[in-house]
Amino acid sequence: MKRLLFLLACPSLSGCSGWQSALDPHSAGAVQLANLFWFFLAVCTFVWLLVGAALFAVLRRRRVGEHPVEDNLAATRRKTTVISVLTAMTVAILTVFTLLSFYATRGFTWHDTNTLTIKITGRQWWWDIEYQNMDPQQVFQTANEIHIPVGRPITLDLEAGDVIHSFWVPNLMGKQDLIPGRTNYLTIMADKPGLYRGQCAEFCGLEHAHMAILVFAESQTAFDQWRYQQLSQAKAPGAPDRLAGLKVFLSHPCASCHTIGGTDAGGRMGPNLTHFGARATIAAGRVPNTARDLDVWLRDPQGLKPGANMPKVDLTRDERTQLVAYLEGLK
């Protein structure tokens, strides 16, 4: 279902400004930012037109002659007055801009105790996600996609596992850096259900270009359902090819980097794959999560994402097919 939504959303949004655009805001915060931008743009355009008009007037007034112009006291006085007025206008505009900016920034702090906290750790080149809870039993991990209930402020605890990254989902809010050794905070809230895309906005090395994050904003009910499912362990595979796939996973290096809850695989280097089959994309938004794309990814990760830390693991065609069947079944 999620996958379908993603596949539908991609082509329909491509080419239009909506997909990851700061000018197509879908939250109160992003609307405010967009409005502020449009206001600044309007004033700045006006100023530029004034300068352009002045230069045009200069061209029209053009006088000719070689001998340097003599000082003209009256003209000097007129010019001084005009420049003083223009400078005062500049100061006034800048003051308004500064105050608007200040109050807009202040508005971004929510005082709501009913927040949901998600810890997002940026890694080269994927997003490690952990839903926080007072009760350790209610904590779960996922990667590269977050689900949030609409209309509820979400606190993001932003950390970095290696180098600096930046969390940015323009439709919902401005960006915030993830810095090693620090925790930054960002509050986001979606007004309407929908799928929003973001991507790392701080240069973080080879695959900085392929480090996307998807935000699924959904109703509280749908969110609770998703959360409940995420809290569960991976179901033991029934079908023989899927069982064989699990064996492939455990007997190859996969398990040393990835965790699948409910199995012996407990690696922490790569994304948690417990509910991998329920995700919309592979490799931080690189390709849609289909059996065919997963096969391509497993066959040659470096071909899709050169430099990624996922190594190429030698698997036979059959082993790969089994592994794909297993992973895709991890709903």
- The answer to whether residue 14 forms part of the interface with another protein (CB under 8 A) is yes
| Interface with another protein (CB under 8 A), residue from 8, 17, 224, 250 | 17
CA distance 162 to 210: 16
Q: Site residues for another protein, window 284-313 (CB under 8 A)? A: 285-286, 306-307
- 201, 228, 244, 283, 292 from 323: Cα distances, Å: 33, 25, 7, 16, 12
| Interface with another protein (CB under 8 A), residue from 120, 143, 201, 323 | 201
| Interface with another protein (CB under 8 A), residue from 3, 97, 243, 247 | 97
- Residues pairing with 184 in the sheet: 158
For another protein, give the closer residue by CB, 181 or 238. Answer: 181
Q: Site residues for another protein, window 242-261 (CB under 8 A)? A: none
Q: Site residues for another protein, window 174-193 (CB under 8 A)? A: 174-177, 179-182, 184-185
Shortest reach from residue 227's CB to another protein, in Å = 28
CA distance 25 to 16: 13
| Interface with another protein (CB under 8 A), residue from 31, 112, 138, 205 | 205
- The answer to whether residue 60 forms part of the interface with another protein (CB under 8 A) is no
Residue type for 105, please? T
- The answer to whether residue 61 forms part of the interface with another protein (CB under 8 A) is yes
Q: Do residues 229 and 142 touch, judged by C-beta distance below 8 A?
A: no
Pairing of strands 154-160, 116-123: parallel
Taking the CB of residue 183, how many other CB atoms lie within 10 A of it?
12
For another protein, give the closer residue by CB, 67 or 317. Answer: 67
Buried b (16+ CB within 10 A) or exposed e, 143-177: bbbbbbbbebbbbbbbbbeebebbbbbbbbbbbbb
| Interface with another protein (CB under 8 A), residue from 42, 82, 236, 250 | 82
For another protein, give the closer residue by CB, 70 or 314. Answer: 70
